[in-house]
Amino acid sequence: MLKDENARHLLKMMESSAERGASIIKQVLTFARGVEGERLPVQPRNIIREIMSIAAETFPKDIRVESDIAADVWQILGDPTQLHQALLNLCINARDAMPKGGVLTLKAANIVLTEQEAGRILGAHPGTFDCLSVIDTGTGISPEIEAKIFEPFFTTKDLGKGTGLGLSTVLGIVRSHGGFLRLVSKVGKGSTFELSLPATTTAHETVKSGSGEPWPRAHGESILIVDDEAAIREVARQTLREFGYQVITTGRGIEAIRVFEKHRQEIQLVLTDMMMPEMDGPTLVAALRALDPTVRIIGITGVSDSEGMSALNTLSLSAMLAKPFTIEKLLKAVRKALNVTAGDETVTKPGLPSP
């Protein structure tokens, strides 16, 4: 234990710098690779509710978070992880634009653009769209700043408080989904970012992987997800629930042990992050196996170096998912761990509930 206060402060600064560096690298890679991802029907209402929950827990209390979602809002054929990231980035910017408090509104509505109407909007085209809006009552954006705001690495935030990649990544995500983005802002009156994304009115459209095979679905199994990052936890939960799994989530290893003990007979699989505060993944794996030596566990890790992966491989997990992972990889890893081959509708694990 370090007794020197300066040494502790230095280590804290190094830790913060490392975390910030990792975040910047992830955004740079997303921007450099492009943002083509997996596609499946996504209900915007679910993503908005999850982001509102995150905002309510983490944003200052003097910021009121509201929603205005059309009762019949259409589905989007898209990647829920990327859409979640885009909306969350905009909400964080809105928070920063309201240092003295205000109102943040998340809105979802159906719109239909004719050729004439689309011609009046930069980057738009005719069709049916879900318009997802992030509206704040903050400081607003001047025309000079607005002209540069989507450029990579451009930021108006103080040194160390912004990478300048958030809005360029949002724009890339929207364009990769075949949509367009509009900004309406006035200095002192707040800002509105509108993400218009092509809608799919076929609620039960069959979504397939790149190989043409249907993505594997659940047979009623229960899964426990353990991750201290709320965004990753919620996106994984939503994805697995969309494909028929029953899901329990927690952000702490200690709580995961209590949940597993309580629902030991129902939980067939555990997904856990390997790097968490208080109790890390390997420690949790050992604790769960002490309770049930046969428990199946999938690890989630941001470690990419060979030494780090070798250490994790000694845990003999059912699978290891490296962040960021695709929806297809998640679903196939889960199905394989549950002893059902991808696309096979036959349950091979005895004693599971009937689908």
Q: What is the pLDDT of residues 307-327, one digit of tens each?
A: 555 667 788 899 988 876 667
The span from the CA of 218 to the CA of 247, in Å, is 11
State the pTM of this model: 0.50
Residue 347 has pLDDT above 60, yes or no: no
Q: What is the pLDDT of residues 92-151, one digit of tens each?
A: 999 999 999 999 999 999 888 877 788 888 888 888 899 999 999 999 988 888 767 767
Largest CA distance in the chain: 70
Would strands 127-136 and 180-186 be described as parallel, antiparallel, or unpaired?
A: unpaired
The span from the CA of 177 to the CA of 101, in Å, is 33
Indicate the DSSP class of residue 160: T
Greatest mean pLDDT range, 6-10, 152-156, 205-209, 342-346: 6-10
Residue 50 tokens, joined? 């999850």
**Rounded to a whole number, what is the distance in angstroms from the first to the last CA of the chain?**
53
* CB atoms closer than 10 angstroms to residue 64: 15
Strand partners, 42: 76
Sheet strands (E) in 154-233: 180-186, 190-200, 222-226
Residue 90 has pLDDT above 90, yes or no: yes
Q: Helices in 224-318 by DSSP H: which ranges?
A: 230-242, 253-262, 281-291, 306-313
The span from the CA of 114 to the CA of 119, in Å, is 9
Residue 124 tokens, joined? 């738009």
| Averaged pLDDT, 43-54 | 90
The span from the CA of 77 to the CA of 201, in Å, is 10
Angle value at C-alpha 306, between 302 and 311, nearest 5 degrees: 80
The span from the CA of 178 to the CA of 160, in Å, is 33
Q: Show the domains of the chain with their CATH numbers.
A: 33-200 (3.30.565.10), 222-337 (3.40.50.2300)
Greatest mean pLDDT range, 24-28, 98-102, 346-350: 98-102
Q: Which residues contact 213 (CB under 8 A, 6 or more apart)?
A: 342, 343
Average pLDDT, the chain: 78
Residue 67 has pLDDT above 50, yes or no: yes
| Averaged pLDDT, 234-251 | 86
Rg (CA), the chain: 22
